[in-house]
Amino acid sequence: QVQLVESGGGLAQVGGSLRLSCAASGGTFGNYAMGWFRRAPGKEREFVTSISSSGVYTYYADSVKGRFTISRDNAKNTAYLQMNSLKPEDTAVYYCARALRGLRYGVQTREYDYWGQGTQVTVSS
């Protein structure tokens, strides 16, 4: 059974930074692309960023491009999301997810098969 556990969420000031982690177990982490999604209250879940299995390829939603950075450490079975220059609009529950086997990276929820429980990020205005 694949398990993904996010951590690092919390309260940040506008313009501040947070670093999220996603620890994976129960699978071959290095064989899969990983992604981050977020869901704000009353809003639909949206794609944030994804990274290929090797870490070579990354893709970002326009709303976070230039501010967020996805990375991974396959030796530690962990993916990361560095969030800088935070805005109130970034307030949401953030989820990490494992992409379907064979995908370089994915941008749609249907392209992911396992999800973490989520971690709350709140940016004060």
Burial of residue 88 (CB within 10 Å: 0-12, 13-18, 19+) is exposed
What is the DSSP secondary structure assignment for residue 100, as one 8-state letter? P
- Residues 4 and 115: their CA atoms lie apart, in Å, by 6
Quick: pLDDT tens for 27-48: 899 999 999 999 999 999 999 9
Quick: pLDDT tens for 36-79: 999 999 999 999 999 999 999 999 999 999 999 999 999 999 99
